Structure 1
């Protein structure tokens, strides 16, 4: 009789643990909700990362573009900045 009570007690305890796992405050439904929120946040982060990469590429292009324009203006048009002195060296003929 006592072995039967121990078995029933262990089964009841196992049932309580499973009930907590499946239906409890931090059970499976909560885990699934948190996983869905995590997936959503990761997709938002990926979209933001892509946008940041695009903006960084645009900034890089603008910086390189301005440097290229300045170099071309210096070589072809003789552009001089306000604090610079323009010196032109002519090769001998």
Structure 2
């Protein structure tokens, strides 16, 4: 995720005065807005669609990390064997 230091860092005072313009910028660029209080970063505003994409990516990364640990620790089995066991246990008709 990119950020423009000159455009995407706003003070809380700016946010209060120019809320609509700041939100319009955030939605248009897809970049987060860093909100500062007393010159220090305090909060991040993020477009909901961008947030949802990042959250999906994070969740997928967590699942992949768990799968990699399973492979590393030998908690795997052949796909054919799994499918056979799955079909037998669920009585799936073809």
Provide TM-score, normalisation by structure 2.
Answer: 0.38
Bigger Cα Rg = 1
Larger RCO, structures 1/2 (Cα 8 Å, 6+ apart): 2
- Of Structure 1 and Structure 2, which has the larger fraction of its residues in strand? 2
User: Which protein is richer in helix relative to its size?
Assistant: 1
